[in-house]
A and B are shown apart, each in its own frame.
Chain A
Amino acid sequence: MIVDLPSTSTASVNRALVELRERGGAVALGRVLTLIIVTDDGEQAENAIEAANAASHEHPCRVLVLARGAKRAAARLDAQIRVGGDAGASEVLVLRMYGPLADQGASVVVPLLLPDAPVVAWWPGAAPKVPADDPVGRLAQRRITDAAAQRNPGRSLDATRRCYADGDTDLAWTRLTLWRGLLAAALDHPPHEDVDAAEVTGAGDSPSTELLAGWLRSCLNTRVRRVHAGAGGGISSVVLERPSGPVKLVRPDGRLGVLSQPGQPDRTVPLARRPVRDCLAEELRRLDPDEIYEAALHALPAVIGRGSTSGRKARS
Chain B
Amino acid sequence: MTRREPGSAAGGRHNPLRDVRDKRLPRIAGPCGLTIFGVTGDLSRKKLMPAIYDLANRGLLPPGFAVTGFARRQWTHQDFGEMIRQAVTEHARTPFRQVVWDRLVEGVRFVPGTFDDDEAFDNLAATLADLDRVRGTSGNHAFYLAIPPSAFPVVCKQLARTGLAAQGDEYWRRVVIEKPFGHDLHSARELNQVVNDVFCEDSVFRIDHYLGKETVQNILAMRFANQLFDPIWNSNYVDHVQITMAEDIGLGGRAGYYDGIGAARDVIQNHLLQLLALTAMEDPVSFHPAALRGEKVKVLSATRPVGPLDETTARGQYTGGWQGSQQVVGLHEEAGFDPDSATETFAAITLEVGTRRWGGVPFFLRTGKRLGRRVTEIAVVFTRAPHLPFDDTMTEELGRNALVIRVQPDEGVTIRFGSKVPGTAMEVRDVTMDFNYGTSFTETSPDAYERLLLDVLHGEPSLFPVGQEVELSWQILDPVLAHWAAAGTPEPYPAGSWGPESADSMIARTGRVWRRP
A residues bordering B, Cβ < 8 Å? 26, 29-30, 56-58, 60, 89, 174, 177-178, 180-185, 187-190, 192, 194-195, 216, 219-221, 255-257, 259, 261, 264-265, 267-270, 272, 281-282, 286, 290-292
Residue from A29, A174, A292 in contact with B436 in the complex, judged by beta carbons closer than 8 Å: A29
What chain B residues lie within 8 Å of A281 (beta carbons)? 444
Q: Flag B30-46 by CB within 8 Å of A: 1 or 0 each.
A: 11000000000000000
- Complex Cα distance, B134 from A26, in Å, reads 55
Are the CB atoms of B16 and A220 closer together than 8 Å? yes
Q: Is B387 an interface residue (CB 8 A)?
A: no
Contact B444 A178 (CB under 8 A): no
Task: Write out the residue numbers on chain B whose beta carbons fall within 8 Å of the beta carbon of A188.
Answer: 6-7, 9, 15, 18, 30
Q: Which residues of B contact A291 (CB under 8 A)?
A: 21
What residues of chain A lie closer than 8 Å to B133, measured between beta carbons? 265
Task: Count residues on chain B whose CB falls below 8 Å from chain A CBs.
Answer: 45
A189 and B138 contacting across the interface, CB-CB below 8 Å? yes
Most buried by B among A26, A89, A188, A216: A188
B136 interface residue (CB < 8 Å to A): yes
**Which chain B residues numbered 349 to 380 have a C-beta less than 8 Å away from chain A?**
none
A190 CA / B106 CA spacing, docked (Å): 25
Residues of chain B touching chain A, judged by Cβ–Cβ distance below 8 Å, are 1, 6-7, 9, 12-13, 15-19, 21-26, 28-31, 59, 62-64, 97, 99-100, 103, 106, 133-136, 138, 170, 434-436, 439-441, 443-445
Whether A57 touches B24, Cβ cut-off 8 Å, given contacts A180-B17, A267-B135, A269-B63, is no
A269-B102 Cα distance, complex, nearest whole Å: 10
Can you add 20 more A-B contacts, CB < 8 Å, to A184-B28, A188-B7, A269-B59? A30-B435, A56-B440, A57-B443, A180-B24, A180-B25, A182-B28, A187-B16, A188-B15, A189-B31, A256-B99, A264-B31, A264-B138, A265-B64, A265-B133, A265-B134, A265-B136, A268-B103, A270-B103, A281-B444, A282-B24
Given contacts A89-B443, A189-B30, is CB(A182)–CB(B25) below 8 Å?
A: no
From DSSP, what is the main secondary structure of chain B's interface residues? loop
Residues of B within 8 A of A194 (CB): 16
- Least distance between A297 CB and chain B CB atoms (Å): 14
CB of B59 within 8 A of CB of A270, answer: yes
Report whether A181 and B6 are in contact in the complex, using a CB–CB cutoff of 8 Å: no
**Residue in A closest to B169 when the chains form the complex, CB atoms:** A190
Among all A-B residue pairs, the 8 with the closest Cβ atoms:
A267-B63, A60-B440, A267-B64, A269-B63, A184-B17, A181-B26, A185-B28, A57-B443
Chain A: minimal CB distance from B391 (Å): 33
**Chain A nearest CB, measured from B451 CB (Å):** 15
Closest to A180 in B: B25
Q: Name the A residues within 8 Å of B436 (CB-CB).
A: 29-30
B440 & A185 in contact (Cβ 8 Å cutoff): no
Nearest-neighbour CB distance to chain B for A76, whole angstroms, equals 33
Find chain A residues with CB under 8 A from B22 CB: 180, 292
The one of B63, B135, B440 in contact with A182, judged by C-beta atoms closer than 8 angstroms, is B63
How far is B133's CA from A219's CA once the two chains are assembled, in angstroms?
31
CB–CB B97/A270 < 8 A: yes
| 15 A-B residue pairs with CB within 8 Å | A29-B434, A30-B439, A56-B440, A57-B443, A188-B18, A190-B6, A192-B15, A220-B17, A259-B63, A267-B64, A268-B63, A268-B103, A270-B99, A286-B23, A291-B21
What is the bound-complex CA distance between A256 and B6, given in angstroms?
A: 26
The answer for the CA separation of A29 and B414 in the assembled complex, in Å, is 13
The distance from the CB of B450 to the nearest CB of chain A, in whole angstroms, is 15
Q: Which residue of B lies closest to A183 (CB)?
A: B17
Does the CB pair B30–A57 fall under 8 Å? Answer: no
Per the bound structure, the CA–CA distance linking A127 and B267 in Å amounts to 55
- The answer to whether A58 touches B441 (Cβ under 8 A) is yes
User: When the two chains form their complex, are residues A292 and B63 in contact, meaning their CB atoms are under 8 A apart?
Assistant: no
Q: Given contacts A184-B15, A292-B19, are A57 and B440 in contact (CB under 8 A)?
A: yes
Residues of A with C-beta under 8 A to B100: 270
**Contact A57–B444 (Cβ < 8 Å):** yes
B170 near A185 with CB under 8 A, answer no
CB closest residue in chain A, given B18: A184
The contact of A184 among B25, B135, B434, by CB within 8 Å, is B25
Residues of A within 8 A of B63 (CB): 182, 257, 259, 267-269
Chain A, residue nearest B65 (CB): A267
Chain B contacts for A264, CB-based, 8 A:
31, 136, 138
Q: A164 CA to B133 CA in the complex, in Å?
A: 47
What residue in chain B is nearest A274 (Cβ atoms)? Answer: B59
Q: Which of A58, A177, A265 contacts B25 (CB 8 A)?
A: A177
Q: Are A189 and B16 in contact (CB under 8 A)?
A: no
Q: A181-B25, A265-B135, A267-B135 are in contact. Are A89 and B59 (CB under 8 A)?
A: no
Among B13, B100, B106, chain A packs the most CB atoms within 10 A around the CB of: B13
Distance from B118 Cβ to chain A, minimum over Cβ atoms (Å): 29
Nearest CB in chain B: distance from A166 CB, A:
13
Separation in Å of the B129 CB from the closest CB of chain A? Answer: 13
> A178 near B59 (CB under 8 angstroms)?
yes
Q: A56 to chain B: which residues have CB within 8 Å? A: 440
A192 touches B12 (CB 8 A): yes
What's the Cα separation between A272 and B102 when bound, in Å?
A: 14
Pair B6/A219 contact, Cβ less than 8 Å: no
Q: Are A190 and B170 in contact (CB under 8 A)?
A: yes
Residue of B19, B135, B136, B441 touching A60 (CB-CB under 8 A): B441
> What residues on A are CB-neighbors of B62 within 8 Å?
185, 267
Please, how many angstroms separate the alpha-carbon atoms of A182 and B439 in the complex?
33
